[in-house]
């Protein structure tokens, strides 16, 4: 399933993306008194029960000819982040691709252990949303296209062998970063946490639809020019190890989002650097997960 959140006619809802259409689940649920959770986050916490509930609802609506009456065209909706309200900071992995680590410093900067930082909850934005350039505080705004993991089951001290059982699905993240603030403050949080600097989406693809998250192409373009072109197979630290490491002393919760790192080709990696400017359009495509598009303003 491709699970999205959106706004239509001033009302928030969520649904299933089917080609160029979206099945609007909340009014469909109300029509059948199916009592779906009112928020995607609450549904994720229910795990497989939530997905089975959706499947049963769709099958009934299709068999009774009610599906078309609860379906919208993509042009009718205003995309929201897949989970409009995130509970906690976005968890991010730094320098998880060898060539990116090198472009950010040198071969000596390739991490021996998983590097973790976070982006604050105020950073979340949706597909198609404009992103502020924040010219009053930075002149070095950069893009980072990434595969993100959505946790579906609570856990602590998770072993690598059990880690994938805790995954609900996958989405795309643009870890927009103020490089000058990152350098100035000697840590990542301020430079990573400007308002709306973490577009997410366009939807969450459930785990069952992704055969191998470590074999996906990932491409980032700025104004149609490809800047990043790589594969998630080049991650230094793989998803089971990331989840296991994070959970050794911290309980992971349903709805937690883990951005798994960006490949080479960020603006800072060019000579001279190619930072974002007003009007720039960023497209990030991860194989099977759609295309996340945002424009700088």
Give the chain's domains with CATH numbers: 2-79 (2.30.30.230), 84-296 (3.90.850.10)
Q: What's the pLDDT score for residue 109?
A: 78
CB 144 within 8 A of CB 176: yes
Counting residues of the chain whose pLDDT is more than 70, the rounded percentage is: 99
Q: What's the pLDDT score for residue 108?
A: 76
Distance between CA atoms of 106 and 100, rounded to whole angstroms? 9
Q: What's the pLDDT score for residue 186?
A: 87
Distances (CA, A) of 260 to 47, 114, 132, 194, 293: 22, 10, 24, 20, 19
Q: Mind spelling out the 3-state secondary structure of the chain? A: CEEEEEEECCEEEEEEEECCEEEEHHHHHHHCCCCCCCCHHHHHHHCHHHHHHHHHHHHHHHHCCCCHHHEEEHHHCEEECCCCCCCCCEEEEECCEHHHHHHCCCHHHCCCCCEEEEECHHHEECCCCEECCCCCCCCCEECCEEEEEEECCCECCCCHHHHHHHEEEEEEEECCEEHHHHHHHCCCHHHHCCCCCEEEEEEEEEHHHCCCCCCCEEEEEECCEEEEEEEHHHECCCHHHHHHHHHCCCCECCCCEEECCCCCCCHHHCCCCCCCCCCCEEEEEECCCEEEEEEEC
CB 77 within 8 A of CB 8: yes
225-283 tens-digit pLDDT: 999 999 999 999 999 999 999 999 999 999 999 999 999 999 999 999 999 999 999 99
The mean per-residue pLDDT over the stretch 275-296 comes to 98
64-121 tens-digit pLDDT: 999 999 999 999 999 999 999 999 999 999 999 999 999 998 677 789 999 999 999 9
163-173 tens-digit pLDDT: 999 999 999 99
Distance between CA atoms of 57 and 122, rounded to whole angstroms? 34
Average pLDDT of the residues of the chain: 97
């Amino acid at each position: 399933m491709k699970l999205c959140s959106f706004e239509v006619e001033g009302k928030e809802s969520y649904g299933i993306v089917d080609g160029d259409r979206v099945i609007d689940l909340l009014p469909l649920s109300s029509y059948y008194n199916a009592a779906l959770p009112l928020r995607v986050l609450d549904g994720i916490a229910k795990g497989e029960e939530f997905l089975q509930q959706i499947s049963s609802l769709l099958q009934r609506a299709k068999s009774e000819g009610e599906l078309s009456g609860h379906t919208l065209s993509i042009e009718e909706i205003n995309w929201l982040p897949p989970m409009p309200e995130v509970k906690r900071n976005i968890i991010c992995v730094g320098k998880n691709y060898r060539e990116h680590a090198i472009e950010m410093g040198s071969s000596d900067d390739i991490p021996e252990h998983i590097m973790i930082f976070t982006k604050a909850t105020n950073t979340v934005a949706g597909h198609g949303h404009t992103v502020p350039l924040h010219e009053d505080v930075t002149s070095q705004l950069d893009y980072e296209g990434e595969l993100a993991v959505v946790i579906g089951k609570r856990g602590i001290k998770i072993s690598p062998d059990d880690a994938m059982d805790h995954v609900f699905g996958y989405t795309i993240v643009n870890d927009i970063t103020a490089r000058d603030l990152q350098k100035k403050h000697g840590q990542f949080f301020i430079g990573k946490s400007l308002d709306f600097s973490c577009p997410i989406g366009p939807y969450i693809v459930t785990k069952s639809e992704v055969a191998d998250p470590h074999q996906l192409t990932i491409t980032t373009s700025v104004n149609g020019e490809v800047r990043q072109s790589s594969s998630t197979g080049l991650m230094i630290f793989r998803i089971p190890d990331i989840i296991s490491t994070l959970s050794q002393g911290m309980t992971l919760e349903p709805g937690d989002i883990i951005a798994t790192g960006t490949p080479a080709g960020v603006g800072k990696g060019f000579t001279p650097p190619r930072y974002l400017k007003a009007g720039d359009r960023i497209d990030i495509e991860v194989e099977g997960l759609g295309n996340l598009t945002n424009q700088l303003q």
